[in-house]
Amino acid sequence: MEPIKYYSTNLKADEVTFSEALLKGIAPDKGLYMPKEIPTFTRVEIKSFSQKEYYEIAFEVIRKFLVGQINDDELLDLVKDAYNYDVPLEKGFENKYVMRLDQGPTASFKDFAARMMGRLMNYYIKKENRKLLILTATSGDTGSAIANAFYGLDNIKVLVLFPDGEVTDRQRKQMTTLGKNIQIISLKGKFDDCQALVKESFADSDLDYLGLSSANSINIGRLIPQIVYYFYSFSRLRMGNENDDVIFSVPSGNFGDMMGGVFAKHMGLPIKKFIISVNENDEFTSFLNTGNYSKIEPSKNCLSSAMNVGHPSNLARLVALYGGVMNEKGEISKSPDMDKMRKDIYSSSISDQVTKDMIKEAYDEHSLLLEPHGSVGWKGLMDYCKEFNIDQDQLCISLETAHPAKFPAQIVEILKFDPELPVSLEGLENKTEYFDNLDNNYSDFKNYLINNYK
Q: Which of 256, 261, 310, 404 binds ligand PLP (CB under 6 A)?
A: 256
Within 281-310, the residues that bind ligand PLP by CB under 6 A are: 306-307
Closest to ligand PLP by CB, 164 vs 371, is: 371
Residue 445: CB minimum distance to ligand PLP, A: 23
Q: Which one, 210 or 316, has the nearer CB to ligand PLP? A: 316
Shortest Å distance, C-beta 42 to ligand PLP: 28
Secondary structure of the chain in the HEC alphabet? CCCCCEEECCCCCCCECHHHHHHHCECCCCCEEEECCCCCCCHHHHHHHHHCCHHHHHHHHHHHHCCCCCCHHHHHHHHHHHCCCCCCEEEEECCEEEEECCCCCCCECHHHHHHHHHHHHHHHHHHHCCCEEEEEECCCHHHHHHHHHHCCCCCEEEEEEEECCCCCHHHHHHHHCCCCCEEEEEEECCHHHHHHHHHHHHCCHHHHHHCEEECCCCCHHHHHHHHHHHHHHHHHHCCCCCCCCEEEEEECCCCHHHHHHHHHHHCCCCEEEEEEEECCCCHHHHHHHHCCCCCCCCCCCCCCHHHCCCCCCCHHHHHHHCCCEECCCCCEEECCCHHHHHHHEEEEECCHHHHHHHHHHHHHHHCCCCCHHHHHHHHHHHHHHHHCCCCCCCEEEEEECECHHHCHHHHHHHHCCCCCCCHHHCCHHHCCCCCEEEECCHHHHHHHHHHHCC
Q: Are 124 and 153 in contact (CB under 8 A)?
A: no
Instruction: Pick one of 104, 253, 324, 422: the residue that binds ligand PLP (CB under 6 A).
Output: 253
Euclidean distance between CA atoms 81 and 288, whole angstroms: 39
181, 214, 217, 279: which one binds ligand PLP (CB under 6 A):
217
Segment contacting ligand PLP by CB under 6 A, of 48-56, 255-263, 321-329, 440-448 = 255-263
Residue 373 makes contact with ligand PLP by CB under 6 A: yes
Residue of 255, 293, 363, 384 interacting with ligand PLP (CB under 6 A): 255
Provide the minimum distance between the beta carbon of 154 and ligand PLP in the complex, in angstroms, as a whole number: 28
Q: Which is nearer to ligand PLP, 82 or 167 (CB)?
A: 167
Q: Is position 252 an interface residue for ligand PLP (rule: CB under 6 A)?
A: yes
Binds ligand PLP by CB under 6 A, chosen from 9, 19, 216, 254: 254
Give the contact letters, 105-124, x = binds to ligand PLP (CB under 6 A), - = no.
---x-x--------------
Minimum distance of ligand PLP from residue 109's CB (angstroms): 6
410 makes contact with ligand PLP (CB under 6 A): no
- Would strands 246-251 and 395-400 be described as parallel, antiparallel, or unpaired? parallel
Residue 315 binds ligand PLP (CB under 6 A): no
- From the list 54-62, 156-164, 249-257, 409-417, the region that binds ligand PLP by CB under 6 A is 249-257
Check if the beta carbon of residue 411 is closer than 8 Å to that of residue 404.
yes
Kindly state the smallest distance separating residue 347's Cβ from ligand PLP, in Å.
12
* DSSP bridge pairs for 250: 276
**Binders of ligand PLP among 44-73, rule CB under 6 A?**
none
Helix axes of 72-82 and 54-65: crossing angle, nearest 10 degrees: 130
Among 35, 221, 251, 324, binds ligand PLP (CB under 6 A): 251
In the shown chain, the binding pattern of residues 388 to 407 toward ligand PLP, with x for contact by CB under 6 A and - for none, equals -------------xx-----
CB-nearer residue toward ligand PLP: 61 or 309: 309
To ligand PLP, the closest distance from the beta carbon of 169 in angstroms equals: 16
Q: Is 143 in the site for ligand PLP (CB under 6 A)?
A: no
Task: Please give the size of the binding site for ligand PLP, defined by CB under 6 A.
Answer: 17
- List residues binding ligand PLP (CB under 6 A): 108, 110, 140-141, 217, 251-257, 306-307, 373, 401-402
